Amino acid sequence: MPDRSARQRIAAPLARRQGGVVSRAQLEALGITRSEIKVELAAGRWHARGRHAVAVHEVTRDGLFAAALMEVRGDVRLDGVSALIYRGLTGWDEDLIHVSVRHGTHAPPVAGTSIHRVRDLEPCAIGVGLATSHPTYAAIRAAVWARSDRAAMTILAIAVQQEVVAADALLERWRRWKRRIPRRALIDQVIRDVCAGAQSLGELDFARLCRERGLPEPDRQVVTKGPKGRIFLDVRWSTLGVVVEIDGAHHASGLMPVDDALRQNQVVLGGDVVLRIPVLGLRLEPDGFMNQVAQALTTAAERLAS
């Protein structure tokens, strides 16, 4: 029978790979008996994280994910926003841990864990570490399970921006997604916005919002001259000197912010007013942004009249 220090030494490597948590079955497979596990728990050196999970070290976020999988057991994997966070998504906090099991599977409730029963559960994503759904499935399900439309849109946008999920793979997965799901229309809009054709789609939506408000419809894809050649503007009211730039998700990546700033500054120096609207802003806060557009047009018209 290994002594206390030997038990810790045996369990430590696996615990480090799993965020400080090891299942009782794993400990027994390592040669640590049930009675020895009880000794460590009774001494307060190890701590039970449920019926099956044991904290051997300080538990990290990944350890919480691992413990949830150990408690649900069987063919289970991290899914939704939990899978995205495990794969590197930052800037998002979620109290619940989301896991998926096959539809019809009996799984006992686990504190702090939302268990989703999924039809046609796909194989786990290939890789080292905890079992997770493929990022494309996880991103779509994260949007479905989100607390609000705003949360659904934000998760999809940052997952693509941070390259946790590849834009082309997500768009292709969504095109082949046949099942009826909540928020389908919204998810369709957002995925197309952040993955493909975001700029042109945003311009069409913007023109529709202008018509609905009774605002004059602007020219689209206007070309003007700058010191280094042609400048392409999304929409412009030329007679009023008002420009609106519709920014898709790609405007936040690479050197795009630098190029955008140079172009905007040049247009402003030429005398135009420039408003910027993230394409997702047309989904989240259409009234707020369109109020600003209306105000800019009114101010410009009054300036011309005077």
Taking CA atoms, 202 is separated from 39, 107, 209, in Å, by 63, 43, 10
User: Tokens representing 281?
Assistant: 């802003």
- Give the 3-state secondary structure of residue 158: helix
pLDDT in tens, 197-206: 444 456 667 8
Residues 51 and 11 placed together within one structural domain of the fold: yes
Q: Which of 175, 195, 215 is the last residue of a domain?
A: 195
pLDDT in tens, 161-194: 888 999 999 999 999 997 889 999 889 988 887 7
Residues 188 and 98 placed together within one structural domain of the fold: yes
C-alpha neighbours within 13 Å on the C-beta side of residue 75: 14
Residues 161 and 184 placed together within one structural domain of the fold: yes
**pLDDT for the residue numbered 255:** 54
Residues 76 and 147 placed together within one structural domain of the fold: yes
- Give the 3-state secondary structure of residue 178: coil
Q: Which of 195, 220, 249 is the last residue of a domain?
A: 195
Residues 161 and 88 placed together within one structural domain of the fold: yes
Q: What CATH number does the domain containing 235 carry?
A: 3.40.960.10
Q: Looking at residues 110-120, what average pLDDT do you find? A: 92
How remote is the C-alpha of 176 from its chain's centroid?
20
Residues 67 and 36 placed together within one structural domain of the fold: no
Q: Give the count of domains, the chain.
A: 3
Q: Annotate 238-249 with b (16+ C-beta within 10 A) or e (fewer).
A: eebbbbbbbbbb
Residue 253 scores a pLDDT above 60 = no
Quote the domain boundaries for residue 24. 1-59
C-alpha 235/C-alpha 245 separation (Å) is 7
Residues 65 and 55 placed together within one structural domain of the fold: no
List the one residue out of 53, 57, 55 whose CA is nearest residue 73: 53
pLDDT in tens, 289-300: 999 999 999 999
pLDDT in tens, 226-246: 666 677 777 889 889 898 888
Q: Which of 170, 195, 220 is the last residue of a domain?
A: 195
Helix (H) or strand (E) holding 177: none
183's torsion region: left (phi>0), alpha (psi -120 to 50) or beta?
left
Residues 126 and 159 placed together within one structural domain of the fold: yes
C-alpha 226/C-alpha 245 separation (Å) is 16
Residues 221 and 286 placed together within one structural domain of the fold: yes
